[in-house]
Chains A and B, each alone.
Chain A
Amino acid sequence: MFNETVLKEIDEIKGRYPDFRSALLPALYVAQREFGWLSHEAMSYVARTLNLPEAMVRGTASFYSMFKHKEAGRHLIQLCTNVSCMILGAERLVDFLRTKYGMEPDNTTQDGRFSLVIMECIGACGTAPAMLVNTDFYDNLTEGKIEEILDKYK
């Protein structure tokens, strides 16, 4: 269950809206931050804290691809392969991540260091290819640049 500070934070979130239902998305973000991903247990806590049906919490959470539904590595890499990124070689970058780091899309590396998600457009078409590592944004990617970036995430 959430600790006292988190419960207070959620209470504060609840106070911002006319009903608890509206507080669901921000509360889910808090849960994801606390537990790393949204397990059934975590969603159940959120449901109890907001007095909402569990199924509804899961329905909402599963609609948004930025919520994690699988236990994830310490760092989440989200790489875009939509049109602009694809033209500029994003698919080669996926292969690079696969061979160099042993990453598979939607999977976590054996050492638990990275999870890779292929994501839809992040609006960086002008500077493609682009990716997010956790919440940090990187663009104009090349294999060399990726190596350099990932060195920072242990």
Chain B
Amino acid sequence: MITITVNGKEIQIDKPMTVLEAAKKAGIKIPTLCHHELLESYGGCRLCVVEVERMPKLQNACTLLAADGMVIRTESEVISKVRSEMLELLLINHPLDCAYCDKAGECELQDLVNKYGPTVGRYKEEKRKVPESHTDPIFARHMGRCVVCTRCVRMCDTVQGASAISMIERGGRTRMEPFSSTSFNCEYCGNCLTVCPVGAILSRLYIHSYRPWQVDKEIKTICPYCGVGCSLFVQVRDNSIKRVIPKIGQGLNNGLLCSRGRFGYEFIESQERLKSPLVKEKGKFKQSTWNEAFHFVAGRLMEIRELHGGKAIAGIASPRCTNEDNYVFQKFMRMACRTNNIDSISRIGFAAAQKYIEDLLGQGVTSNIIDGLKNSDAILVIGGDPTAVNPILGLAIRAAARNGANVIVVGNAKGLVPIIRDKTLRIIHPVFREADVLELLLTNIFKTQDVRAEKPAIDKRIKELSEKPVKMDIKEMEKLVKILLGSNSISIVAGMELVQRVDGHRSLFAIAALTYLLEARLFLLSEKPNEQGLIDMGCLPDMLPGGRPINVGDFKHKFEAAWKESIPQDKGITLMEMIGAIRNKDIKALYIMGENPVFNLPNGHYIREALESLDFLVVQDIFLTETAELADVVLPALGWAEKDGTYTNLERRVQLLKRAIDSSSGIEDWKIISEISSIMGYEMDYSSAEKIMEEIAKVSPLYRDLTYKEIGAGDCLWPYHGEPLRGELNEVPVAVDITQDYKADFYLAIEKPLFHSGTLSRRASALRKICPEPTLKISPQHAGKLKLKEGDRVNISTAQGTISVPVSIDASITDNRVLLSNNFENKGVFNLLNFSLDKVTKAPGIEGCEVKIERK
């Protein structure tokens, strides 16, 4: 225990820390400028100087480690004088243009000068002039205002790991610049904005549009983009979102954000938002009143239910909707529509993976605390780029790498390649054969690490696999096995590319078995904000809320008692099976909440044909999407910042979503559904989202006793007061092994970019400015072979169709795959891809799609 005295107050600390940190712990504030909580101490500005008894000179509190017996004063005449002079030096060049600087009112320099600063400066020379830069799509730079604290550069280097900016030149000319002086061309996380103490780096999204003190309200909510669920503070003026910021100490992102979260909010105020319910008459949409629309939908659904039974109806839920929306949705499908045909887009990734792995290892095994990644010794990343899919989780991996962890990247995780550099491993494998790599790794680990004999089914399958090992030559395998066996704390980060294979379940088994053998922590990347919640709410054909299997009588009866109605007998079918059933005319009506399957499922043409053949299609959304255009009725819902509710993130953390702005056009998803359900004869009369959570907390064993008050206080991870289920499989489900060699010139595959997510992001103008159009990513070698240069336009054709896009050369691609994203209207990769189902997980296998590339 170390005891120091600060301003006469004794402070006891139990671990090494700086005087600044110790003082802060005791509530004593020492002024700082270059220091920032998220960054390492720097000791550049000299504003945190303190007097330490028996030390001859003033000391920097931010770099001085507290030692036992130190007696420190943080304020004195001498200290004030020094601080005043330090500020006077900074003001030699700082322009004092506070009258029109966006930062005024929340400027750290302004506050410091107000407290300590000189009233008159003694330096009469002209201030330096650095031209403003407004050439970047997002950031404006006023480098005349820069005080060279280097916070932005340190943030970009050591926390974000992007290293996109640096201090250039020296002396009085020093300033921050990105490599190309005009554009940042970076990850656009905007974390440099957060740390800039003055108005040197500004966001062009809100420049000169308001003052910090003119914000009407600030609402804490959750990001609408990915499954990490970062906390955001939405600042509103005149019912319009002015700015989205993170805060230190708030939420699991602790002051950090990514480009989508920080700059992607503009979709909510898009002009394209749906304004009123639309009902199709003779092929044309006509505006209708809510009441008419409700009765029309209820009437048609009842007709189909009476005529063909509930099994002719299906519902697609949404991982962008809240837990409350999804809970009400599945209850409506089961109780009012009398069907278990409920699934979601998560079937093509997260839901399929989670179900398979939880069946083997038990509930909750895929959910671990993101922050814990930082403490791993070894991290195995496969099946996707965490820094693009779940950027804040990606930062935890980068942090672990800086702490000395071995990061092993299998395949193409672009955002991690610069981090691993020559220190650890990158494994390149034949295209689409992740399952073979994983099985090979598993059998190699099994050679030295015996089974744990806790899960007989898994043990048996591992033994089976090791009897006929995969034939594949991976030269780094020995090193990889050595790293994993030599590490105490292992994390496995699995992306959803693994699931989207015909033999996806093989990869999933290997992942589960490795988790089990190595006692690793498993993280599944989740693209949408509420994929976990959607599963928890029972939006699966075979699961009730709380992940309770529908075929277990006890669970079924409990829900029947709570819902006062029987659960339909017919087995439900999964998403891709639904499409098939629609084409076979077995399903006649489809109810879609907040999803765009025509765009977001492979072989869009095939999906479109299916939906066009439906007798009745209802789409509830905030935009007239490709799918909504096919609907008989379109019901405008409320978007992310307009409603209350909860999201459950990939760590199974339940978090509150709060209304920040009012919308005049839409209604909450759960309310629309409740109205229709009541008309159909199954009464639902929830008065608020909170009331729905009260019901969930009663019926779901995983959310037992959870209240909004507790969720709002933070750190609500399920199982709350309930119990998770253990994995109880007697036999590991496997399908016939299909291992194909892919030998064509080029294969088309899906790119998951950092700046876009699809329907929402393409309507966020800032994200459009950063990344305005899709490009075909190709490796430098193959671009050279085809004589393609950056920006050349090409036609890419598959059996499904042709799209014309510019080429972008990407050195992180090392094989004969070419990548295209699925984000832009009419240019989605899914339109060009075909699929065949993984027989076990029922996820679409999207592999081996040959593609022709022709210069246009």
Q: How far is the CB of A49 from chain B (nearest CB, A)?
A: 13
Answer whether residue A55 sits at the interface, using C-beta atoms and an 8 A cutoff.
yes
Residue among A40, A43, A53 having the largest count of chain B Cβ atoms under 10 Å: A53
| Distance in angstroms between the alpha carbons of A150 and B179 in the assembled complex | 36
List the B side residues contacting A57 at CB < 8 Å: 179
Answer whether residue B695 sits at the interface, using C-beta atoms and an 8 A cutoff.
no
Answer whether residue B85 sits at the interface, using C-beta atoms and an 8 A cutoff.
no
Q: How far is the CB of A21 from chain B (nearest CB, A)?
A: 11
Choose among B164, B418, B421, B422 the residue that contacts A55 (Cβ–Cβ < 8 A). B164
Q: How far is the CB of B422 from chain A (nearest CB, A)?
A: 7
| Distance in angstroms between the alpha carbons of A60 and B153 in the assembled complex | 13
| Distance in angstroms between the alpha carbons of A40 and B164 in the assembled complex | 14
List the B side residues contacting A51 at CB < 8 Å: 418, 421-422
List the B side residues contacting A59 at CB < 8 Å: 153, 166-168
A53 and B163: CB pair below 8 A?
yes
List the A side residues contacting B163 at CB < 8 Å: 53, 55-56
Total contacting residues, chain A, CB less than 8 A: 14
Q: Mark contacts of A54-80 with chain B using CB atoms, 8 A cut-off: 1 yes-contact digit, 0 otherwise.
A: 111111101100000000000000000
Answer whether residue B467 sits at the interface, using C-beta atoms and an 8 A cutoff.
no
Chain A residue nearest to B174 (CB atoms) is A63
Interface size class of chain B, counting residues whose CB lies under 8 Å from the partner chain: 10 to 19
A55 and B169: CB pair below 8 A?
no
Choose among A40, A56, A62 the residue that contacts B180 (Cβ–Cβ < 8 A). A40
Chain A residue nearest to B180 (CB atoms) is A40
CB proximity to B under 8 Å, residues A92-126: none
CB proximity to A under 8 Å, residues B167-181: 167-170, 177-180
B170 and A55: CB pair below 8 A?
no
| Distance in angstroms between the alpha carbons of A43 and B177 in the assembled complex | 15
| Distance in angstroms between the alpha carbons of A40 and B421 in the assembled complex | 22
Choose among B156, B162, B166, B422 the residue that contacts A58 (Cβ–Cβ < 8 A). B166
Chain A residue nearest to B167 (CB atoms) is A59
| Distance in angstroms between the alpha carbons of A62 and B180 in the assembled complex | 13
B170 and A58: CB pair below 8 A?
no
Chain B residue nearest to A43 (CB atoms) is B179
| Distance in angstroms between the alpha carbons of A55 and B164 in the assembled complex | 5
| Distance in angstroms between the alpha carbons of A59 and B178 in the assembled complex | 9
Choose among A53, A58, A60, A63 the residue that contacts B177 (Cβ–Cβ < 8 A). A58
List the A side residues contacting B162 at CB < 8 Å: 53
Answer whether residue B165 sits at the interface, using C-beta atoms and an 8 A cutoff.
yes
Q: How far is the CB of B793 from chain A (nearest CB, A)?
A: 24
Chain A residue nearest to B173 (CB atoms) is A62
| Distance in angstroms between the alpha carbons of A53 and B153 in the assembled complex | 12
| Distance in angstroms between the alpha carbons of A44 and B180 in the assembled complex | 10
List the A side residues contacting B178 at CB < 8 Å: 55
Q: How far is the CB of B758 from chain A (nearest CB, A)?
A: 30
Q: How far is the CB of A103 from chain B (nearest CB, A)?
A: 23
Q: How far is the CB of B602 from chain A (nearest CB, A)?
A: 36
B179 and A54: CB pair below 8 A?
yes
Q: A51-B421, A53-B163, A56-B163 are in contact. Are A40 and B168 (CB under 8 A)?
A: no
| Distance in angstroms between the alpha carbons of A29 and B418 in the assembled complex | 24
Chain A residue nearest to B165 (CB atoms) is A55
Q: How far is the CB of B135 from chain A (nearest CB, A)?
A: 15
B168 and A58: CB pair below 8 A?
yes
| Distance in angstroms between the alpha carbons of A60 and B169 in the assembled complex | 8
Chain B residue nearest to A48 (CB atoms) is B811
Chain A residue nearest to B811 (CB atoms) is A48
Chain A binding surface, main DSSP class: helix
Q: How far is the CB of A134 from chain B (nearest CB, A)?
A: 23
| Distance in angstroms between the alpha carbons of A54 and B170 in the assembled complex | 18
A58 and B169: CB pair below 8 A?
no
CB proximity to A under 8 Å, residues B412-433: 418, 421-422
CB proximity to B under 8 Å, residues A26-44: 40, 43-44
B422 and A62: CB pair below 8 A?
no
List the A side residues contacting B168 at CB < 8 Å: 58-59, 62-63
| Distance in angstroms between the alpha carbons of A53 and B421 in the assembled complex | 11
| Distance in angstroms between the alpha carbons of A62 and B178 in the assembled complex | 12
| Distance in angstroms between the alpha carbons of A10 and B192 in the assembled complex | 33
CB proximity to A under 8 Å, residues B124-166: 153, 156-157, 162-166
List the B side residues contacting A40 at CB < 8 Å: 179-180
B166 and A56: CB pair below 8 A?
yes
Q: How far is the CB of B766 from chain A (nearest CB, A)?
A: 22
CB proximity to A under 8 Å, residues B389-422: 418, 421-422
A58 and B179: CB pair below 8 A?
yes
List the B side residues contacting A54 at CB < 8 Å: 179
Q: How far is the CB of A56 from chain B (nearest CB, A)?
A: 5
Q: How far is the CB of B61 from chain A (nearest CB, A)?
A: 28
| Distance in angstroms between the alpha carbons of A115 and B164 in the assembled complex | 31
List the B side residues contacting A55 at CB < 8 Å: 156, 163-166, 177-179
Q: How far is the CB of A43 from chain B (nearest CB, A)?
A: 8
| Distance in angstroms between the alpha carbons of A106 and B166 in the assembled complex | 24
Chain B residue nearest to A53 (CB atoms) is B163
List the A side residues contacting B421 at CB < 8 Å: 51
Chain B residue nearest to A60 (CB atoms) is B166
| Distance in angstroms between the alpha carbons of A54 and B156 in the assembled complex | 13
Chain B residue nearest to A59 (CB atoms) is B166
List the A side residues contacting B166 at CB < 8 Å: 53, 55-56, 58-60
B165 and A62: CB pair below 8 A?
no
A53 and B167: CB pair below 8 A?
no
| Distance in angstroms between the alpha carbons of A51 and B418 in the assembled complex | 8
B180 and A63: CB pair below 8 A?
no
| Distance in angstroms between the alpha carbons of A40 and B163 in the assembled complex | 16
Q: How far is the CB of B811 from chain A (nearest CB, A)?
A: 9
A53 and B169: CB pair below 8 A?
no
Q: A40-B180, A63-B169, A63-B170 are in contact. Are A53 and B422 (CB under 8 A)?
A: no
| Distance in angstroms between the alpha carbons of A76 and B157 in the assembled complex | 35
List the B side residues contacting A53 at CB < 8 Å: 157, 162-164, 166, 179, 418
Chain A residue nearest to B161 (CB atoms) is A53
List the A side residues contacting B164 at CB < 8 Å: 53, 55
Q: How far is the CB of B297 from chain A (nearest CB, A)?
A: 55
Q: How far is the CB of B173 from chain A (nearest CB, A)?
A: 9
| Distance in angstroms between the alpha carbons of A120 and B179 in the assembled complex | 27
List the A side residues contacting B157 at CB < 8 Å: 53, 56
Chain A residue nearest to B156 (CB atoms) is A55
Q: How far is the CB of B808 from chain A (nearest CB, A)?
A: 16
| Distance in angstroms between the alpha carbons of A62 and B173 in the assembled complex | 11
List the B side residues contacting A62 at CB < 8 Å: 168-170
| Distance in angstroms between the alpha carbons of A44 and B811 in the assembled complex | 14
| Distance in angstroms between the alpha carbons of A56 and B161 in the assembled complex | 12
Q: Mark contacts of B481-515 with chain A using CB atoms, 8 A cut-off: 1 yes-contact digit, 0 otherwise.
A: 00000000000000000000000000000000000
List the A side residues contacting B153 at CB < 8 Å: 59
| Distance in angstroms between the alpha carbons of A128 and B374 in the assembled complex | 59
CB proximity to A under 8 Å, residues B69-84: none
Chain B residue nearest to A64 (CB atoms) is B170
Q: How far is the CB of B546 from chain A (nearest CB, A)?
A: 47
| Distance in angstroms between the alpha carbons of A133 and B180 in the assembled complex | 30
Q: How far is the CB of A114 from chain B (nearest CB, A)?
A: 24
| Distance in angstroms between the alpha carbons of A43 and B156 in the assembled complex | 19
Chain B residue nearest to A54 (CB atoms) is B179
Chain A residue nearest to B184 (CB atoms) is A55
Q: How far is the CB of A60 from chain B (nearest CB, A)?
A: 8
Q: How far is the CB of A104 from chain B (nearest CB, A)?
A: 19
Residue among A51, A58, A60 having the largest count of chain B Cβ atoms under 10 Å: A58
Beyond A58-B179, A62-B170, 8 additional pairs, beta carbon < 8 A: A40-B180, A53-B157, A53-B164, A55-B179, A59-B166, A59-B168, A62-B168, A63-B169
The 10 closest A-B pairs by CB, nearest first: A59-B166, A53-B163, A62-B168, A54-B179, A55-B166, A55-B179, A62-B169, A63-B170, A55-B165, A59-B168
Q: List 28 A-B contacts (CB under 8 A).
A: A40-B180, A44-B179, A51-B421, A51-B422, A53-B163, A53-B164, A53-B166, A53-B179, A55-B156, A55-B164, A55-B165, A55-B166, A55-B177, A55-B178, A56-B166, A58-B166, A58-B168, A58-B177, A58-B179, A59-B153, A59-B166, A59-B167, A59-B168, A62-B169, A62-B170, A63-B168, A63-B169, A63-B170
